[in-house]
Chain A
Amino acid sequence: MAKLNRRNFLKLAGGSTGLALTGCASSPTPKATKKAGPAKVVVVGGGFGGASAAKYLKKFDPSIQVTLIEYNKTFTTCPGSNWVLGGLRDIDSITHSYDALINKYGINVIHDWVSAIDVDGKNVRLASGSKVEYDRLILSPGIDFRYDTIEGYTANDVNMVPHAWKAGSQTTVLRNQIASMRDGGVFVIAPPPNPFRCPPGPYERVSLIANYFKKHKPKSKILILDAKPKFSKQKLFVKGWKDLYGYGTDKSMIEFVAAPDGKVSKVDVKSKTAYAGPLEEAVKADVLNVVPAQKAGELAHAAGLTDKSGWCPVNHHTWESKVAPFVHVIGDSAIQAPLPKSGYAANSEAKICAAAVASMLAGKDPEPHVPSWVNTCYSLVGPQYGISVAMVYNLTKEGKVGKVKGSGGLTPMDGNRQLEALYAENWLLNISNDTWADG
């Protein structure tokens, strides 16, 4: 009986003698039946979603064998990367190792690529050739780019025209371009259409590059060529740009061109020219930052977990894929609206998913019975000027994530910007420590 694995069990349970054979007749569903030996969970992706899921699985049930697979030896957070671009801090301050997850939590961390996921065999194959088996798999593969949406821009062009929408070497490439730009140059950013990672991100980036230009290259300009007609926290950003960077006056450092006129359809990488609007008007940049439309991380596509939207449909109670059993998808790759694609949301989803997975592996119904999520995103408009958006979410009667009516919203127009700037910095420290445990 001890050798009976779950695949066999599921086959047996389908037959009329299944329950009698297993001796687990009291379990509510075959899926939730506990099997002998320590449970194995493999987590793929070491960002806010994956690292948090691995850590919280261990907190919920230390007996679970947790393996975290992440190619990179360190993780540089997208939150805070705009602060690096604006010269407010060093990239090391937003870079985390996996040492604490290994040493404090006993998580087995493997730095490798996942080359295939065998959903039927319940194992993950690595580029190195080895195979890791799981009882449940949690994927948090982040985002990838839809390079096909902008003519002339490919994955090979990112060192000339960075996206800097995955932090790390891309952040450094863009920072160096901005730092070496002539005074009087033009920084052009082309934010993506919805949905995308970190909705306020492009506008915080603009703000902090404006702050840098104001001090070091005051004749320079910033042009936003946007694929959207409007953007996250727009009123607050616009007020901040008026307060700090002369927005709306003839001396404004920042100019915003909304879709359709701002939508970039084509790029000439060599001359750093973007072509925007229905007439494909050419805009020459000194530094060009193109953030393409996005989709679930490549791994999710390769594993066949995405639907026609390019993202992964999941059950929001357990974050189990609607396509593949025993596979959970959290973070940016999941269809999670109205939760945004943010680090905070991924961390919050990871806790609910980990709790559900731990319960199910223990042969119980998924806990918690009443899930709850929060998203809190701070943005700096200037070093002393912080704004935020927050929301509380619950599970609706339809079993989907929904906003709790009356909760959340934006910083009030007369809110305390200085205190929120302080909280923004501390927010990043605290959520990073909640995720990588290295604070």
Chain B
Amino acid sequence: MMKHRTLLATALLVAAASLQPLMADHDSGRTIGLTCFGCHGADGVSLGAVPSMKGMSEEHVRTAMTDFKSGKRSGTIMNRIAKGYTDDQIKALAKFVAGL
């Protein structure tokens, strides 16, 4: 059983940890981008067959999402997902992904 006292130790530990605070960026790109991690992996790094988002350029994401949305490009699930976003949201998402 952990003691409450560890709360303090935890706070100190965290202050020292090299976590990247995401607090600064509140745009819709982050909000949408975080929903992608469920399939594409934590922080955009996939552990298997689903492509990683990390490493994709802004242009690549924008083109891919736009083409999935229009049906120009066909995927298994991405056509269904891409139709959920406006062009502005896709732009914001692309910016977020490029910054991963």
Residues of A near any B CB (own CB < 8 A): 38, 40, 56, 58-63, 65-67, 104-112, 128, 130, 132, 344, 347-348, 351-352, 355, 358-359, 362, 367-374, 376, 388, 390-392, 404, 406-409, 411, 415-416, 419-420, 422-423, 425-427, 429-431, 433-434, 437, 439
Given the interface pairs A59-B20, A358-B23, A433-B42, the reply to whether A374 lies near B81 with Cβ below 8 Å is yes
A426 touches B83 (CB 8 A): no
In the bound complex, CA of A154 to CA of B83 (Å): 45
Interfacial residues of chain B within 52-83, with CB under 8 A of chain A in the complex = 76-77, 80-81, 83
| Closest Cβ–Cβ distance, residue B91 to chain A (whole Å) | 14
Q: Looking at the complex, which one of B1, B17, B41 makes contact with A62 (CB distance below 8 Å)?
A: B17
> Which residue of B1, B80, B85 is within 8 Å of A111 (Cβ)?
B1
Task: Among A106, A372, A392, point to the contact of B28 (Cβ < 8 A).
Answer: A372
Which residues on the B side are within 8 Å of A415 (C-beta)?
A: 76
CA distance A355 to B76 in the complex (A): 30
CB–CB A373/B50 < 8 A: no
Q: B32-47 vs A: 1/0 string, CB under 8 Å?
A: 1011111111100011
Give chain B residues whose Cβ lies under 8 Å from the Cβ of A434. 37-38, 41-42
Closest to A404 in B: B84
Cβ A60 vs Cβ B23 within 8 A: yes
Expressed in whole angstroms, the minimum distance between the Cβ of A387 and any Cβ of chain B is 10
Indicate if the CB atoms of B22 and A60 lie closer than 8 Å.
yes
Residues from chain B with Cβ under 8 Å of A105 in the complex: 14, 17, 19
Jot down 6 A-B pairs with beta carbons below 8 A, ordered by A. A40-B7, A109-B2, A348-B35, A359-B26, A411-B77, A430-B41
The distance from the CB of A122 to the nearest CB of chain B, in whole angstroms, is 15
The answer to whether A426 and B50 have CB atoms under 8 Å apart is yes
Q: Using A347-B38, A388-B76 as known contacts, list a sample of 15 further A-B pairs with CB atoms less than 8 Å apart, ordered by residue number in A.
A: A65-B11, A106-B13, A109-B2, A367-B26, A372-B28, A372-B31, A372-B89, A374-B35, A376-B81, A390-B77, A392-B85, A423-B77, A430-B46, A430-B50, A433-B47
Do residues A429 and B47 form an inter-chain contact, with CB atoms below 8 A? Answer: yes
In the complex, the answer to whether B47 meets A430 with C-beta atoms within 8 Å is yes
Closest 9 CB pairs of A and B: A392-B84, A407-B84, A426-B48, A106-B14, A374-B35, A434-B42, A404-B84, A430-B41, A368-B31
How far apart are the CA atoms of A415 and B85 in the complex, in Å?
22
Known: A59-B19, A392-B81. A108 touches B38 (CB 8 A): no
Q: Which residues of B contact A426 (CB under 8 A)?
A: 39, 46-50
Q: Smallest distance from the beta carbon of B20 to chain A beta carbons, Å?
A: 7
Closest A residue by C-beta to B36: A374
Q: Is the CB of A408 within 8 A of B84?
A: yes
Question: Whose C-beta in chain B lies nearest to the C-beta of A61?
Answer: B23
CA distance A106 to B19 in the complex (A): 10
Complex alpha-carbon distance, A111 and B3, angstroms: 11
| Cross-chain contact A430 with B83 (CB below 8 angstroms) | no
Question: Distance in Å from the Cβ of B7 to the closest Cβ of chain A?
Answer: 5
Given contacts A108-B2, A407-B83, A415-B76, contact A439 B50 (CB under 8 A): no
Q: A358-B23, A388-B76, A407-B84 are in contact. Are A430 and B40 (CB under 8 A)?
A: yes
B81 touching A437 by the CB < 8 A rule? no
Nearest CB in chain B to that of A430: its residue? B41
Q: How far is the CA of A352 from the CA of B26 in the complex (A)?
A: 11
Residue in B23, B34, B83 whose Cβ sees the most chain A Cβ within 10 Å: B34
How far in angstroms is the closest Cβ of chain B from A38? Answer: 6
A351 vs B31: C-alpha distance when bound (angstroms): 8
* Known contacts A110-B2, A376-B77: A406-B41 contact under CB 8 Å: no
Q: How far is the CB of A395 from chain B (nearest CB, A)?
A: 11
**Residue from B10, B21, B50 in contact with A423 in the complex, judged by beta carbons closer than 8 Å:** B50
**Contact A416-B76, Cβ < 8 Å, known A62-B14, A67-B7, A108-B6:** yes
Q: Given A60-B21, A65-B7, is A128 in contact with B31 using a C-beta cutoff of 8 Å?
A: no
CB pair A376 B38 closer than 8 Å: yes
- Considering only CB atoms, which chain B residue lies closest to A69 in the complex? B2
Q: Is the CB of B41 within 8 A of A65?
A: no
Name the B residues within 8 Å of A63 (CB-CB): 11, 14-15
Chain A, Cβ-Cβ closest to B3: A130
Closest B-chain residue to A56, C-beta based? B34
